[in-house]
Amino acid sequence: MESASNIKNIIFDLGGVIMNLDVDKTILAFKDLGMTDVVNDTNLYYKNPIFNDFETGKISETGFLDELGKLLGPNATHKKIKQAWNAMILDIPKDRINFTLNLKDKYRVFLLSNTNSIHQTKFESEFKQQNDFLFAKLFEKIYYSHKLGMRKPGEEIFNFVIKDSKLKAKKTLFIDDSDQNIATAKKLGIKTVHLQDAALLTNLDIK
């Protein structure tokens, strides 16, 4: 990890950092519905632009479900599509929740996530049921791609967060599991941690 001696702000990614994800579950669920080419050969990028459009708010939730329904056929109801899309979302372990809450005593803590309204509804609802407080309480402010109309790894979304919350890049630490997102943050002068195993989050020594 890079030196964090002057860190005042921490920006977390969500999936693969705070929340456990299993994208393969969604890929398999869509295959069961008839979509066999959800992602490219690397399993990192969705082939159909509708997924990116949904994550950047260019298409509504209903529009997303309708368009996928046309691709999948009459047996793919909105309910089945949402279940397949949400299959990747797993849990947010208690130790990561406590870790994040404890950091708020010393740092300004933010969330920057590429996500969409269906996933947001799913994980925020489950979090509230399991922890009896709102997910948003973990952070000073949350930035979701589908609400901002832009997504990582684009520079514009990082610049927006820095300007909107009046942060100094050199005093800000960004924690993400994507090397592309990390590369953009570094380019902008933000300190970074490339977290390749979410289970190691609580082992980070942030000073």
The owner of tokens 């942030």 is 206
Closest by Cα among 25, 16, 23, 24 to 200: 16
Directed axis angle between helix 78-86 and helix 61-72, to 10°?
100
Peptide bond into 153 cis (omega under 30): yes
Catalytic residue among 13, 41, 105, 176: 13
Residue 66 annotated among the catalytic residues of the structure: no
Q: φ, ψ for residue 199 (rounded to 5)?
A: -65, -15
Active site residues: 13
